[in-house]
Amino acid sequence: MKKFYTFCLISLFLFSFSSVYSQTFFSTKYTKPVVIIDGAFGYGAPLFDFGGNTLKDFYGLKGYGINGGYYATATTKVAIANFSVGQLRTYLTISFAQFLGSDNRAYNIGGFIKNGWPHNGIKDTTISYVPPKDTSGVSSIRISSPYVAYGWEVAFFTDKNRKSIVNFGTDFVVAVLWGKVFDQPTGKVEIYNNIIDNTKLGLGFNLGYSYRITNAFGLSLGTRLQFTNLFRKTSNEAKVDGDLCLNDAANVSINPLLNSNRNIGFFGAYGGFTFYIGGKK
């Protein structure tokens, strides 16, 4: 019996040693994938003139009063070149983002803002626009910003089995922004005005990390810096009651407060999953 126990202990030791040894020295080497598909969800912090603590920034034509937002992305990447420790990839991202802001003060807008704003007054088109004073109540803003991004990235395998991957990318962005601005003074009904769709062009930069659980599947996380409206800044008077433009371009002929461009962007942190398709070892 003693010999049997000794044999079992030796066998268990040898099995454990062989398992550790094989995992350390003979782990499966994963492929360099041809196609990579990412799905991710993230939080976006507003940058530049996009942020703000109150809706006073919006009505004062200084910022947009955004506190934060969320976004989801689907990205398809294709490897176009392989090198010893990585790949060069091109990619296309489709994303939907929504940004929100809130204020514990209201601005007594009183209904749809009249056409001609921000050159004319909110309610009286015969006078010049003067930003409204805050009053008791609440207000908020919601801006949706779906975008499509096309770009390139360099991916580096940080271990010999190609399980751990760091990637750096940059892309060209086409974004469409629209939304609503809400206002509700104490004791009154909530009203809203629309922010009509505005198409903007910009740039994005990604820094990501992925870990492959299997050859075909992994988890990812990373950060994104996006300059949403580098190009196509515009400012216009409202043509229809209640339909407002973003007014991100300097244009003092409309209103002296529009004396500089307003920049829109965000810094995001995301996490998600990745599928790896094709490739050779």
Tell me the percentage of the chain whose pLDDT exceeds 70.
Answer: 90
pLDDT tier at 281, thresholds 50, 70, 90: confident
* Concatenated DSSP letters of 152-212: EEEEEE-STTS-EEEEEEEEEEEEEEEEEEEEEETTS--EEEEEEEEEEEEEEEEEEEEEE
Residue range 35-277, CATH number: 2.40.160.20
pLDDT greater than 50 at residue 137: yes
Produce one character per residue of 25-40: b if its CB has 16 or more CB atoms within 10 Å, e if not: eeeeebbbbbebebeb
Cα angle vertex 262, ends 257, 268, to 5°? Answer: 145
Please write the tens of the pLDDT for every residue from 109-130.
Answer: 989 999 999 999 999 889 999 9
Structure confidence at residue 27 (pLDDT):
64
The mean per-residue pLDDT over the stretch 128-134 comes to 93
- Rounded to whole angstroms, the Cα distance separating 264 from 272 reads 25
The mean per-residue pLDDT over the stretch 58-75 comes to 96
Model pTM? Answer: 0.86
How high is the mean pLDDT of the chain?
90
Please write the tens of the pLDDT for every residue from 178-189.
Answer: 999 999 999 999
pLDDT tier at 3, thresholds 50, 70, 90: very low
Please write the tens of the pLDDT for every residue from 12-61.
Answer: 444 444 444 434 444 688 999 999 999 999 999 999 999 987 899 999 99
pLDDT tier at 248, thresholds 50, 70, 90: very high
